[in-house]
Amino acid sequence: MFVTRFSASCLRGFNFIELAPSNSINVILGKNNAGKTTIIEGLHFCSTLRSFKNLKSETLIQFDKSMSKIQLNVTKFDENNTIYVENTLTSSKISKLNTKRAGSKTLMAFFPTIALSFGTENVINSQSDVRRSLLDWGTFHVEPDYLLTLKSYLKVLKNRNLAIKQRDFQSIDTWSKKLSSLGEEIDIKRKSYFDILQKSYISNIEKIKANNLTHYNDILLSNISYSRGWPLGSTLSEALSDTQEKDLALKYTSVGPHKADIIFKTGSDTLKNLASMSTQVIISLLLILAQSEVFHVKQGYRPILLIDDLFFGIDDNNLGLVINLLSETRSQCFITAPDLYFEKISKFRDSAKNMKIYKLEDDNTIGEV
C-alpha cells in the first residue's frame, strides 16, 4: 500500500499543497515551523481523524479559515482508492473512502499509519502511554475486536477511579470485578501480539549483526520485554485488592493494563539511562520496523510510516544504517528533517531505492530537490 498523491487546502500554513510521493522513502526538509510536520499530520489525520501530536483537530485548519480539505490517492493490492477528509470548525468532520462515508475505525483499518515524533523524545525516553499506544495499534490490526475491549476497559477504569475518589467501597468492588475481567482479556491479547513483535525485533538485530552494519554494542545487545502493569504471579483481581489502600491514598487505580509498558534494555541495563540519543533513536526505529513487518505478515501489505525528526541526534556513523533500514523495510515512509541535512541525505540517493527529497520554502511552497 502506498500514497500516489497527497493534496490539501487550508491545512494549517498551506493555502494549497500537492505531492506525488515515492512509494519508498520521502524526506521532507525545511526550516523550523516551515510546515514539515503538518504534512505528515495530514496523512495521519486521514487514517485516524486525529493529530498524532495530540492536538485538537481544529488546529490543523489554516488561521482565518473555517475548513481544511485533504485528499489522498492510495494504491492497495493494485487497486486505486481515494480518501477524502473535510475538517471544519462549524460542523462534524466529513470523511469518505471511495465516495462512501467512513468513520475513524474504517479509515484506520483501511489506511494504517504508524506515526512517531522523535526530536528530543523517542519511543524509549517518552512517557509509557506512547509505548502502550504502539502495543494497542499492533494488537488492533491483529484482532480488530480488541479496540472495543480496550474502550470498555477505559470506561470501567474511569468509573472505578471516581468511586475511589468518593470512597464508595461498594462501587469500588463492583468496578474492580469488571476491570479485572476486561484487563485480563486485554493482557492476553497484548501479550500474544508482543511475542510476535519481539521475534521480529530480534530478527532485525540479527540482520544488523550479519551485515556488520553497526559496531555499537548497545544496539546489538538490545532487547525488549513486556510489562503487563501488575505483578507477575498474581491475577489482576488480586493486584487490585492488594493495592486498594494505596489507590485510596493516590485517588486513582495504580495497577492494570493502563500501566503496561515495553521495557528496553541493553544486556541487563536499562537503555533509557545509558544509551546515547543516536542509539535510542535507532532502537526506536527498529521497534517500528518490527511492527511494520508483523503487520505485513498478518495483512499482506505494509503500513505507512510517518516519522517526525527521525534524524535528530543521529551521528554520521549511524545515518547510513538508518537509510539502509528504511530502504529494506519496503514500507512507504514520510520523514521530516531540518534542511541542513540535505547534503548528508543526498549522498544516499543511489543506495536508497526511489528516494525523493522535498524542500519547503519560506513561501510555503514545496518542491523536489
Q: What is the pLDDT of residue 137?
A: 94
Q: How far is CA 165 from CA 19, 209, 237, 301, in A?
A: 51, 52, 19, 46
Rg (CA), the chain: 22
CB 295 within 8 A of CB 138: yes
Q: Give the lowest-confidence range in 7-16, 33-42, 230-239, 307-316.
A: 307-316
Query: What stretches of 300-329 show up as alpha helix (H) in DSSP?
Result: 316-329
Q: What is the pLDDT of residue 153?
A: 98
What is the SS3 assignment for 12?
Answer: coil
Whether 274 shows a pLDDT value over 80: the answer reads no
Whether 281 shows a pLDDT value over 90: the answer reads no
Q: What is the pLDDT of residue 152?
A: 97
pLDDT tens-digit series, residues 317-363: 788 888 888 888 889 999 999 988 888 888 888 778 789 999 998 87
pLDDT tens-digit series, residues 21-61: 999 999 999 988 889 999 999 999 999 998 888 788 889 99
Written as nine digits, the cell of 309 is: 525528526
Residue predicted with more confidence, 261 or 122: 261
CB 294 within 8 A of CB 139: no
pLDDT tens-digit series, residues 173-193: 999 999 999 999 999 999 999
Domains and CATH numbers, the chain: 1-122+284-369 (3.40.50.300), 125-274 (1.20.1050.90)
Average pLDDT rounded to a whole number, residues 281-297: 93
Whether 278 shows a pLDDT value over 70: the answer reads yes
Q: What is the pLDDT of residue 211?
A: 78
Average pLDDT rounded to a whole number, residues 280-304: 93
- Per-residue DSSP letter, 230: S
Average pLDDT rounded to a whole number, residues 94-115: 94
- Confidence tier at 120 by pLDDT (50, 70, 90): low
Question: CA 179, CA 155: separation in Å to the nearest integer?
Answer: 9
Average pLDDT rounded to a whole number, residues 143-159: 95
| DSSP string across 44-83 | HHHHHSS-TT---GGGGBPTT-SEEEEEEEEEETTEEEEE
Written as nine digits, the cell of 323 is: 537509510
Whether 367 shows a pLDDT value over 70: the answer reads yes
CB 355 within 8 A of CB 22: yes
Average pLDDT rounded to a whole number, residues 78-107: 94
Cβ-based neighbours of 300, under 8 Å, separated by 6 or more: 77
13-17, 178-182, 208-212, 358-362: which is most confident? 178-182
Residue predicted with more confidence, 221 or 239: 239
Nearest to 307 by CA among 114, 107, 110: 114
Cβ-based neighbours of 158, under 8 Å, separated by 6 or more: none
Whether 217 shows a pLDDT value over 90: the answer reads no
Quote the mean pLDDT of the chain: 92
User: What percent of the chain is modeled with pLDDT above 70?
Assistant: 99
Whether 11 shows a pLDDT value over 90: the answer reads yes
